[in-house]
Amino acid sequence: MKIISDIQELRAQLRGQNRASFVPTMGNLHEGHLSLMRLARQYGDPVVASIFVNRLQFGPGEDFDSYPRTMDADIAKLEKEGVYVLFAPHEKDLYPEPQEYRINPPQQLGDILEGEFRPGFFIGVCTVVMKLFSCVQPSVSIFGKKDYQQLMIIRQMVQQFALPMQIIPAETIRADDGLALSSRNSYLSQNERAEAPQLRMTLEVLRQEILSLGPSDPKQLLALEKKAKEALIARGWKPDYIAIRQQKDLLIPSAIDSTPLVILAAAKLGKTRLIDNLEV
């Protein structure tokens, strides 16, 4: 595997490749990330991964400084997966001068849910992803459904800018007890780690309740959201949101109809903020 930090060197290495399959990450790789590498291999060749902890998408007071950085272990995992190039730029490579041009996703998608609780988050994500796409010029890129809203925003960005590439969604990989794998799980204490699967369980209960309602009535859905939130609060969590939304646009289901739904949640357990989602 070639490990490259310089944009020009990356371009030289990938010259003539027009089927590259790309997986952007922030590193501290786990089985969730590795499943994306395997999916990438099915959709293109060579597989290119990136590791970059993107300062632009962290708000003040968030965990940019403490975000786990485990480059040596990550490299060994990517070697095993047969990744051809790891693009691991330093900040000075990707942002040699302040990144003043930024991608601003539409408010109705970028400022809700994660965007409401992490202002500017999706501007940072879209900007770095656009720049990484420009460096790698892949024909395919893989994103996890774990970050459901992010996947939707990137898909629409690619469509709106007519980027000549396909975005492939990957299913969420979970620990045996149901907790979605995440680099941030390493922040959890032993007791918190034992409690953490409750987030997913709460979503499961909510899903069953929605299904037993039949055609969804927005008022009833709101009441179910509230109940789920209270259940988590009672266990010591601090939920940012638990939201039942339409899969197609993440908006609140408008009327009684059978549009496919998804439940999205973000909640703090101690100092650790976890997110998860479940399609109904």
241-249: long-range pairs with CB below 8 Å, 24+: 241/113, 241/116, 241/117, 241/265, 241/266, 242/202, 242/203, 242/206, 242/267, 243/113, 244/206, 244/210, 244/216, 244/280, 245/113, 247/279, 249/108, 249/109
CB of 78 to ligand AMP, least distance (A): 13
Is residue 173 part of the contact set for ligand AMP (CB under 6 A)?
Answer: yes
By beta-carbon proximity to ligand AMP, the closer residue of 143 and 187 is: 143
- For ligand AMP, the binding residue among 182, 185, 198, 277 (CB under 6 A) is 182
Q: Which residue among the candidates 14, 21, 25, 33 is catalytic per the annotation?
A: 33
Whole-number Cα distances in Å, 55 to 94, 128, 274: 11, 10, 19
- 1 or 173, CB closer to ligand AMP? 173
**Residue number, 50 or 202, with CB nearest to ligand AMP:** 50
Q: Is 181 in the site for ligand AMP (CB under 6 A)?
A: yes
- For residues 135 to 154, the per-residue mask of contacts with ligand AMP, x marking binding by CB under 6 A and - elsewhere, is --------xx-xx-------
Using the rule CB under 6 A, is 46 a contact of ligand AMP?
no
Residue type, 33: H
Query: Is 30 noted as a catalytic residue in this protein?
Result: no
Burial class from Cβ neighbours inside 10 Å (0-12, 13-18, 19+) for residue 264 reads: buried
With the C-alpha atoms ordered 236, 204, 33, 176, is the resulting torsion angle positive or negative?
positive
Strand pairing category for 272-279 and 85-87: unpaired
> By CB under 6 A, is residue 71 in contact with ligand AMP?
no
The set of residues, in sequence order, having a beta carbon less than 8 Å from that of 212 and lying 6+ positions away, is none
Dihedral Cα 271, 232, 217, 151, nearest 10 deg: 30
Binding mask 6-45 for ligand AMP (x = CB under 6 A): -------------------xx-----xx-xx---------
Token pair listed for 258: 């059978």
Count residues binding ligand AMP (CB under 6 A). Answer: 17
Query: Toward ligand AMP, which CB reaches closer, 17 or 172?
Result: 172
Among 165, 180, 224, 250, binds ligand AMP (CB under 6 A): 180
Residue 176 φ then ψ, to 5°: -55, -30
- Region from 116-124, 160-168, 170-178, 226-234 binding ligand AMP, contact rule CB under 6 A: 170-178
The reply to whether 172 sits near ligand AMP by the rule CB under 6 A is: yes
Q: Which is nearer to ligand AMP, 63 or 195 (CB)?
A: 63
Q: Which is nearer to ligand AMP, 110 or 253 (CB)?
A: 110
Just list the catalytic residues. 33
What residues make contact with ligand AMP under the rule CB under 6 A?
A: 25-26, 32-33, 35-36, 143-144, 146-147, 170, 172-173, 180-183
